[in-house]
Chain A
């Protein structure tokens, strides 16, 4: 009996000893998407899967809304108390310029799109896992469009004049032609103008405009601004445009009061494909996707913006660099890329194959693919390219005042001209 008890006690000590020999490592992750259930679920499943395969490692995730996360990170990074892994977007140059990010050269880049890697590269080194990529899409309500007697052409692109005509028809019927708001984001209201400028100028000159190498007094720029202004004057946008928040703009489009179109990032799905009682679109909502209208005299009517959005980066001061890279590598597989497409229904920087998507979301992806067929992409939206004063002026002028109709074309040219 004594021997049996002794063996049990010894076994317990051995077990405890082995447990002590392999203590659990806890990695902290601060991430956006607190209110975006689909993305959150995707990440949580990846965490669970990683923890299962790596029993000694735990990932402790804290979920934030984007603005709160950014504010918290600014303080935490400076104080040396930032998490091991955190959410970031490629426009946050201050992170890599101040050496806060770990060089991710050891990540499995073979499974990541080269353009997405490029978006996160600084001085030849990559710093972020480009999980989310998105295009600016023009969503529309098929039923309302049909009721107005407007046929979306085979190539999905209305001419500039036809689009203006559509705006007038919708207004005449008391329908808001386009849901769009700039209440809580520095870029949502700007889509209208920057997509038009991109088409009119083409990829190279558009890039020059954003970096201050092409003047805003260029006649092509002025013409485009006048065209956008004609849409605004025709009543394109909601009267609540300046205060309408991003989440509210979704509901404004698909539920109340219901708008004809919605110009938004292709991450529309992460909110709209939730259940209706969680802010999602109504069941059976007749969603369609068309191309941004062809701007009169466009140098490149097939040009459009694609941006790398939500990404994960690793704190340069982490004590668990190897484990953190291993965690990010769990996302860098074609299976995870396809799962992202299937679940989140937004493009991704991870190599994936949308033809493998089946089930209820397959139809949506066909529409998204059709809208992007033959597209020439400009990588990044203006606020990802601009920094400092030009970014601030762009936000105030192009994102808010110009679409709201409170500044005229001359005012825009003057303000943007003095911003650089």
Chain B
């Protein structure tokens, strides 16, 4: 009996359930209320026609309709294109800028602030700014083209289905380069001095040092930035809404803008179909991110 009590006391010391529950409950409540429940509810909605004050079970009807929805697949293509190109462009340019600052180019202090500034602005401000920049008549892009005798190339960049998406990719790249640059600069500054010095003692040139020493050491940071940027672009909404609303001819339609249109602009209160889009998109994004993470982690392990 005595040993039994002692064992229970030991168990209580090893697993203080009261404390565990007390510490977990607030975070768990928030997680369930704001993450788990919305996800489950979205899945539930996707099998229903969700109208105010009533829900009608429709089974897989929404999923079948979505499979035939050309606008949805167009928006998927646009979003994946954006999410594939943007991270590579952002991180590549940011790396060049970070290396320039690391090498202490003249005016480095000024450039660090100037290059970082765009990320401090909201997509709304950035969108308005770039609508002006891309203006056909007096926007700086076309003005510059005309000034160097290439006026024939001037066009309504956001009004042309062929140039609208690339133009918006340029905007997000411009906006996020600064953030990537600062993170990479921090990674560069944290490189172990002895490794760099050892490479210099071995007569490594700048190029060799970059390719064989610096890049492998900051590779995990680069991968994280690519994955973060990818996830961000898979959710992009604000910039498109401000500049093109998905047009012209759905050339800049993203999954997020399409969900919003279906939920709030298609003269219907039904939340079932938009939930189906969200559910499918959640699965696609999760699958891509998991694949990307596994593949890149595997490779980085091989690198080391």
Instruction: Tell whether A and B belong to one assembly.
Output: yes
Contact pattern, B 228-256, Cβ under 8 Å of A = 1, otherwise 0? 00000000000000000011111000000
Are A240 and B248 closer than 8 Å at their CB atoms? Answer: no
Within B23-80, the residues touching A (CB, 8 Å) are: 51-53, 71
**Residue among A91, A92, A94, A396 having the largest count of chain B Cβ atoms under 10 Å:** A396
The distance in angstroms between the C-alpha atoms of A241 and B160, with both chains bound, is 11
Residues of chain B within 8 A (CB-CB) of A242 are 156, 158-159, 247-248
**Is A5's beta carbon under 8 Å from chain B?**
no
**Does residue B93 face the partner (Cβ distance < 8 Å to A)?**
no
Proximity string of chain A (71-98) to chain B, C-beta cutoff 8 Å, 1 when within and 0 when not: 1001001100000000000011110001
Establish whether residues B269 and A98, one from each chain, have CB atoms under 8 Å apart when the complex forms: yes
| B6 CB–A CB distance under 8 Å | no
Sample of 12 more A-B contacts, CB < 8 Å, known A242-B158, A396-B246, A401-B247: A74-B269, A77-B52, A77-B269, A91-B267, A94-B269, A98-B53, A240-B159, A241-B156, A243-B135, A388-B268, A391-B266, A407-B161
Q: Which residue of B lies closest to A387 (CB)?
A: B267
| A392, CB-defined interface residue at 8 Å | yes
Chain A residues at the B interface, C-beta cutoff of 8 Å: 70-71, 74, 77-78, 91-94, 98-100, 238-243, 387-389, 391-392, 396-397, 400-401, 404, 406-407
Shortest Cβ distance from B64 into chain A, in angstroms?
15
Contact of B250 among A98, A100, A238, A396 (CB under 8 A): A396
Inter-chain CA distance A71–B260, complex, in Å, is: 10
Considering the chains assembled together, what is the distance between the CA atoms of A240 and B131 in angstroms? 10
The chain A residue with its CB closest to the CB of B156 is: A242
A404 partner, pick from B53, B156, B250, B267, beta carbons under 8 A: B156
Q: Which B residues are CB-close (under 8 A) to A388?
A: 266-268
Q: Which 8 A-B pairs have the closest CB atoms?
A: A242-B159, A239-B136, A401-B249, A401-B248, A94-B267, A400-B248, A98-B52, A387-B267
Chain B residues, Cβ within 8 Å of A70: 264
Q: How many A-B residue pairs have CB under 8 A?
A: 79
Query: What is the minimal beta-carbon distance from B240 to any residue of chain A, in angstroms?
Result: 14
Question: Given the known A-B contacts A94-B267, A239-B136, are A392 and B71 also in contact in the complex, defined by CB atoms under 8 Å?
Answer: yes
> Hey, which chain A residues are within 8 Å of B160, CB to CB?
404, 406
Q: B264–A71 contact, CB under 8 A?
A: yes
Using A241-B159, A392-B261 as known contacts, say yes or no to A404 and B269 having CB atoms under 8 A apart.
Answer: no
Alpha-carbon distance A99/B136, docked complex (angstroms): 46
30 contacts between A and B (CB under 8 A): A71-B264, A77-B52, A92-B267, A93-B267, A94-B267, A98-B51, A98-B52, A98-B269, A240-B135, A240-B159, A241-B156, A241-B159, A242-B156, A243-B134, A243-B156, A243-B159, A388-B268, A389-B71, A391-B266, A391-B267, A392-B261, A396-B247, A396-B249, A397-B249, A400-B248, A400-B249, A401-B161, A401-B248, A406-B161, A406-B248
CB-based nearest B residue for A386: B267
In the complex, chain B residues whose CB is within 8 Å of the CB of A240: 135-137, 156, 159
B62 to chain A, nearest CB (A): 14
A90–B303 alpha-carbon span in the complex (Å): 64
CB proximity of A392 to chain B, nearest CB, Å: 7
Determine the main DSSP class of B at the interface with A.
loop
Q: Which residues of B contact A397 (CB under 8 A)?
A: 249
| B268: chain A residues within 8 A (beta carbon) | 94, 387-388
Determine the chain B residues whose CB is within 8 A of the CB of A74 once the complex forms: 264, 269
B residues near A238, Cβ cutoff 8 Å: 137
Query: How distant is the Cα of A98 from the Cα of B53 in the complex, in angstroms?
Result: 9
Decide if A404 touches B266 in the complex (CB within 8 Å). no
Q: List residues of chain B with CB within 8 A of the CB of A241.
A: 156, 159
Contacts of A91 in B (CB 8 A): 267
Q: In the assembly, what is the distance between CA of A389 and CA of B247, in Å?
A: 15
- Mask, B71-103, CB within 8 Å of A = 1, is 100000000000000000000000000000000
Query: By the criterion CB–CB under 8 Å, are B156 and A100 in contact?
Result: no
CA distance A241 to B156 in the complex (A): 9
Q: List the A residue with the shortest CB-CB distance to B70.
A: A418
**How long is the Cα–Cα vector from A71 to B135 in the complex, in angstroms?**
28
Q: Are A406 and B249 in contact (CB under 8 A)?
A: yes
Cα separation A92 to B71 with both chains bound (whole Å): 23
- Please indicate the chain A residues that have their CB under 8 angstroms from the CB of B269 in the complex: 74, 77-78, 94, 98
Scoring B135, B156, B250 by chain A CB atoms within 10 A of each residue's CB, the highest score goes to B156
Closest chain A residue to B161, Cβ basis:
A406
Complex-state Cα separation, A94 to B158, whole angstroms = 32
When the two chains form their complex, are residues A78 and B249 in contact, meaning their CB atoms are under 8 A apart?
no
Q: Tell me how far the C-beta of A229 lies from the nearest C-beta in chain B, rounded to whole angstroms.
A: 16
A183, closest chain B residue (CB): B131
A404 to B135, Cβ gap below 8 A?
A: no
Assembled-state Cα–Cα distance A30/B223 (Å)? 49
| Bound-complex Cα distance A94 to B267 (A) | 5
A418 to chain B, nearest CB (A): 8
Asked if A243 and B131 make an inter-chain contact with CB atoms under 8 angstroms apart, the answer reads yes
